[in-house]
Amino acid sequence: MKKDNCIFCKIANGEIPSKTLYEDRNFRVILDLGPATKGHALILPREHAENLYDLPRESASEVMVLAQKMAATLVEKLRCDGLNLVQNNGEAAGQTVRHFHLHLIPRYVDDGQSINWKTGSPTQEELENIRRTIVE
């Protein structure tokens, strides 16, 4: 279901113009207006889901198949050296628009971008406690 006040619903459903790379009955793939690199694209479901947790399972499967197809196209057409898939859920994770979307970010040697984090060094006991918390 479309959400009336959601800008990505409006873009995904053609109410707001976009630089569309691909569309079908469930998704629209557009160029990001604030790209990290040349060819940075977003996969937008036409139906509103706030984040990954709300995305129907069928749509989650379809989005990864579409991401694979679009990634191959971007690599072939743009001759990029790599590609990142980025998907943020919640403000703490960097989500700024409350509509599920998957970033396809072509990467080029020396493009000046990075996706990295500070690595931790938990003990085996800490890892086991976390594992138990998740699976029990």
101 is catalytic: yes
Buried b (16+ CB within 10 A) or exposed e, 87-115: bbeeeeeebeebbbbbbbbbbeeeeeeee
Catalytic option among 40, 48, 99, 101: 101
Catalytically active residues are 101
